[in-house]
Amino acid sequence: MQQLGVIGGMSWESTASYYRLLNQGVRERAGGLHSAPLLMHSLDFAQVAALQSSGDWKAAGALLADSAQRLEQAGATGLLLATNTMHKVAPVIEAAVSIPLLHIGDAVGLALQNAGIKRAALLGTRFTMLEDFYRLRLAERFDIDVRIPSEEQIGEIDRVIFAELCRGVFTDESRAFYLACLEDMRAQGCEVGILGCTEIGLLLEGVEAPLPLYDSTELHVQMGLDWMLAGD
């Protein structure tokens, strides 16, 4: 198996899911006592969140590029960035290393394309929903019409992510709100919902939703497993 580097900590709640799912996936695919050969660099999310809030994406990109270089130097031969939002600086990371970055947008886009999906609702941080680095990639590479909630809903979705989900808080009230947003998007013709924040899957795990859900974390993990086991 190829050794995968994971840039994590954004937040550690979702990074823990990556670690668990990658190891479970290797065990299921390879059998026996096999587990995932991983290198992980977990960042202090408070620092990253402050850079996001201030709009200092240059410094955020430099921080993650340094993390990627550390993992490459330690022996990683491929990278997973365990967050949706910070794929905004994916080009900076890719330019800093000579190993591939497995892009979360491509994991989501391929799954939607293979399922014949043409219109999808996107839930994530306000950066992921409002800026074009994610939506445009899905549109241009996979011909997916990505729709986002109303301005008021975007504000509350984002608040819940940072004030609750990233702190390990999962409430019935927030769960009901997210499901209501998905119902509104279903009424607008969306075929599926993209959980475009790695913590949202933790909130909606096991819940019956108005739309079929595509969890970006799970799809990204599957891409990582395919890459690690490609030569096996």
Q: Which residues are catalytic?
A: 83, 197
Helix (H, G, I), strand (E, B) or coil at 145: strand
CB atoms within 10 A of CB 210: 17
| Distance of alpha carbon 214 from alpha carbon 122, whole angstroms | 10
Residue 108 CB neighbour total at 10 angstroms: 28
- Report the alpha-carbon distance of residue 193 to residue 49 in Å, rounded: 25
3-class SS string, 125-143: CHHHHHCHHHHHHHHHHHC
Q: Which of 67, 77, 69, 81 is nearest to 18 (CA)?
A: 81
Strands 101-102 and 192-195, bridge-based pairing: unpaired
